[in-house]
Amino acid sequence: MTGPAARRIATDGVDGVELAAYQWGASTDPPVVLVHGYPDTSAVWHPVAERLADRFHVTAFDVRGAGASHRPRGLRAYRMSRLEADLEAVLDAVSPDRPVHLVGHDWGSIHSWESVTGTRLAGRIASFTSISGPCLDHVGHLIRARLRPRHPDLPKLLRQAVRSWYIAYFHLPLLPALTWRALGHRWRAFLTGSQGVPGHTPYPAPTLARDAVTGTALYRANMLPRLLRPRDRPTTVPVQLVIPTRDFCVTPVLSYGVEHWTSQIQRRPIDAGHWVQLSHPEEIASRIAEFAHRVDDGSRHSPDHTAHPI
């Protein structure tokens, strides 16, 4: 198979950011847009995109601050509103007249939720597959509802808080940058040794350390405002939650209560770690394709896993 077609997408934001995008498949096929997380680039999606290319028109792009995309300065440049504007520019460029099947992983899923639950891109998203990245507003409500003595989910929330230690670390000055620059060269060994990622994948990108340092702005610009002052964020977009059960970053408790915000949801647990699209690309591609075809066929669906009302 030939490699993806590369293109540049100019955003309409005040900072004039250009995004690097990569495309597979025929433009007449149903559109799928893949959004990567932290500290990744679009390369993390290549194995999945290659498996979808015979059925879909697939686009993966480097988010602002990562890979070959522009790296604006300042926290304001990494707020959710800017990320949503970037996604809008991508949709305008690759599928202006047809709703896309949106797929997000990690931070790519977190900031995709902003569009899935908002009005700016209403009607532009046909379905959403979320992997290891909750809506921060939903998590804020979840914490308020369950963070009290004797609540049965409290131990799970506390274990998740311990696993999220790096979020507080990323708010510190200088130390995250020093850590990534000193240890970034060991990232591939970490992925292959403990995450089940094959050593021949195109990820991590050569820009890893720089991407990781820049990307800490995502946490500092968005985490506390959303968690401390959560908004009501319902959606009518059909949602598929792919939940890696061995994810060391995002445990299943962070998906509890999503049924409160949408009635069109299915849960798909998978025995895998955080970078499931690299360790299990065939299975992830299959789940994306099945869900997209089901939505395009107009089939109604119901949750296939235990619901967790908020």
How confident is the model over 270-282, as pLDDT tens digits?
A: 999 999 999 999 9
pLDDT at 64: 97
The answer to whether residue 303 scores a pLDDT higher than 60 is no
The answer to whether residue 195 scores a pLDDT higher than 90 is no
Position 304 confidence tier, pLDDT thresholds 50, 70, 90: very low
The tokens for 31 are: 């559109």
Angle between helices 80-94 and 107-116 (to 10 degrees): 80
pLDDT at 306: 43
Q: What is the mean pLDDT of residues 201-211?
A: 88
Domains recognised in the chain with CATH numbers: 5-296 (3.40.50.1820)
Say whether 23 sits in a helix, a strand or coil: strand
How confident is the model over 42-55, as pLDDT tens digits?
A: 999 999 999 999 99
Residue 219: phi and psi, rounded to 5, are: -70, -45
Mean pLDDT, the chain, rounded, equals 93
pLDDT at 299: 54
pTM of the model: 0.94
Amino acid at 215: G
pLDDT at 301: 45
The answer to whether residue 309 scores a pLDDT higher than 50 is no
Position 267 confidence tier, pLDDT thresholds 50, 70, 90: very high
pLDDT at 279: 95
